[in-house]
Structure 1
């Protein structure tokens, strides 16, 4: 996730949904946002771990295979 990308805090999201007239819709929107947020966090953590593996053990492992695995399973980082 880019440092330039704005991601609202949990508090901002809760405050935004508090004004929603339909509580079921608000809950569904919150759950959708939260699932997407959590997926991005997991993806970014996996990419960072794989990048760290290459950095630390790059001389012992095939960097290209790890990068290909990372990009295939965790996106291209954008």
Structure 2
């Protein structure tokens, strides 16, 4: 699984744990709910700003969430981390 898909699933999990609907989170970050749906499912790519905004609304540290996403994704197995 790539990093973008992993990030989307993690934001979805955190959103659901917090009791927010897609519409609730989308409104708070000034985004269309259908766009958030595509981001959570990995059909669209995250921007750093939007990822950080969602993390802020969800009350989580974006750096920690991103680190968790890297751990869960296939991205951690690339040679980029070996340099």
Q: TM-score, normalised by structure 2?
A: 0.29
Structure number with greater Rg is 1
Q: Which has the higher contact order (CA 8 A, sep 6+)?
A: 2
